[in-house]
Amino acid sequence: MKLDMNSKLVMIGDSITDCGRAHPVGEASFSGLGNGYVALVDAMLNTEYPEFRVRVVNMGISGNTVRDLRMRWQKDVIDLNPDWVSLLIGINDVWRQFDHPLIREIQVLENEFEETLNELVGLTKSYVKGITLMSPFYLEPNKEDPMRNKMDEYGRIVGQIANKYNVEFIDTQAVFDEYLKHDYTATLASDRVHPNLRGHLLIANAFVRNITG
């Protein structure tokens, strides 16, 4: 187990993390953690390892890009005094380039994405015992699809930053790719972005395997 006893785990990101969590702080009282992978991680850790008493906090906000995270990082991460931080971001950074191609001011291109994520990880590492970075994903098995191809570029950036700072990295796209060898995309998400419970369980399983390995 990479988490210490009584660890506080803050999980931050976009709608994939948010999933209807409580605001301003998503805590574990009934539906406070939402109905996605964060709630599943909490359930898995605290049933399999109840003696560790891990406190999970959900700070995802739907629609966020890495630019949005930078604006709220102090309040929603540092000020919460976490022992461990998990970050899943990048989907909207890519998606806005495809669903709003003419509105350039809301798009987060590769250079800004890399610089901002690098800044956040560098700032946070000295405050916490551990960081997990998860790659953004697009549930499209055709790697030549323009949005899938662009998402892979952002995923590589996340992996490179994880390697630079020697923090944990989960290739979430690879997890979904393995599943999609056996089933169709629509069994996980109708829009190829927002997973159903099965998709969230794939993310949660990957996170728990990594954090307890």
Extended beta strands in the chain, E state: 8-13, 55-58, 84-88, 130-134, 168-170
The reply to whether 135 belongs to the active site is no
**Beta bridge mates, 88:** 13, 134
**Pick the catalytic residue: 14, 135, 194, 200?**
194
- CA neighbor of 20 nearest in space, from 76, 47, 68, 58: 58
* 194: annotated active-site residue: yes
Burial of 67 (0-12, 13-18, 19+ CB in 10 A): middle
Dihedral through CA 125, CA 93, CA 13, CA 174, nearest 10? -90
Going by their DSSP bridges, the two strands 130-134 and 84-88 should be labelled as parallel
Catalytic residue, candidates 15, 18, 86, 93: 15
Whether residue 23 lies in the annotated active site: no
Q: Using DSSP, state whether 132 is helix, strand or coil.
A: strand
182: three-class secondary structure by DSSP: coil
The set of catalytic residues is 15, 191, 194
